[in-house]
Amino acid sequence: MILALAALLGSALACPTLDESVDSAVVHALAADAAAADNDFVTAEEALGCAPVTAAQAARYFVVRGGAAEFVEPGSGARLFASARAVDPKVWEDRLGGELKARWSNAAVEGSGSLTLDTNRDGGWIDGVHVVDWPARTGAGWHVVQVVSIDGSTVLYGRSVNLPAGEDALVQTGLAESAASEVHAVPATPRRPLVSPAWLIASGVAAVVGGGLAAGARVQSDHMSGYGTEETLNAAWQREQGFAYGAYAAWGVAGVMGGLSFVLR
């Protein structure tokens, strides 16, 4: 039962995949279920924030969104078709049919604009391509914008944006200025050890000596009742005092060295 619940929880928390969401949208669009297709596109947008997207994936996403829009209202998907062709003109979804393919073939981007991120530019990607120079000048229309960690393992932000012609659009990711680089921040110089090994070892030795002396004092005290004369008893008391004073001194040294191990690291 526990394993089953864990599996269900893991499935619920797993990120959706863009390809599966787009495939589902094709099925629903062909079935004239516009509401279900719209839900698929919502899931697809969530997927953009889960994994890096290639240019081909971005183009196919726009093709299918354009096709679904065309089924509802002819001509409404032209901008999406044009954006898809600008990203990758080789990508088409055959299930959408020949009529929509003809509209897609004639679609073209009109005008250009620029995109600006509100976060560190080094992690910015547009339509599966890493962009170094921001603001990024690009064609007007739809684009997939992502912020990806330096090694490409983590998507910090992802969504599709519709860039109007002639505008400089700000993509508000909500990430910190250095979010992209902080994921893989590496110290410029090696950090010094938290504790100096030499001082720490000396502290440990002093503590062990103190413990040994304390144990000696304890043994000495336990055997005092066995001394028969006052002279031998006084000698035993002196030895016990010596053990005790030595233990106090050793532990004091251990404490000082322990403190120095942090101060002189």
pTM of the model: 0.64
Return d(Cα 85, Cα 64) in angstroms, integer: 12
241 vs 249: CA distance, rounded Å: 12
Contact 77, 67 (CB under 8 A): yes
Confidence tier at 230 by pLDDT (50, 70, 90)? low
Instruction: Kindly state the percentage of the chain with pLDDT values over 90.
Output: 53
Write b or e for each residue in 223-236: b if 16 or more Cβ atoms lie within 10 A of its Cβ, otherwise e: eeeeeeeeeeeeeb
- pLDDT > 70? residue 216: no
**Whether the predicted pLDDT of 251 surpasses 90:** no
Residues 6 or more apart whose CB falls under 8 angstroms from that of 219 comprise: none
Q: Which of 132-141, 195-204, 218-227 has the highest mean pLDDT?
A: 132-141
The reported pLDDT for the residue numbered 184 is 38
Asked whether residue 149 carries a pLDDT value surpassing 90, the answer given is no
Instruction: For residue 29, report the phi and psi dihedrals to the nearest 5 degrees.
Output: -65, -40
Residues 243-265, mean pLDDT to the nearest whole number: 55
Q: Where are the alpha helices (DSSP H) in 77-229?
A: 78-87, 98-106, 179-182, 197-222
CA distances (Å), 74 to each of 42, 68, 241, in order?
22, 10, 102
pLDDT digits (tens, 9 = 90+) for 81-107: 999 999 999 999 999 999 999 999 999
Which percentage of the chain shows pLDDT scores above 70?
A: 60
Task: Specify the pLDDT at position 261.
Answer: 53
Distances in whole angstroms, Cα of residue 168 to Cα of each of 119, 121, 137, 206, 216 = 16, 16, 9, 69, 82
User: How far apart are alpha carbons 41 and 201 in whole angstroms?
Assistant: 63
Tokens in use for 162?
């519709």
The residue behind tokens 């947008």 is 45
Domain extents for the chain? Answer: 14-182, 197-263
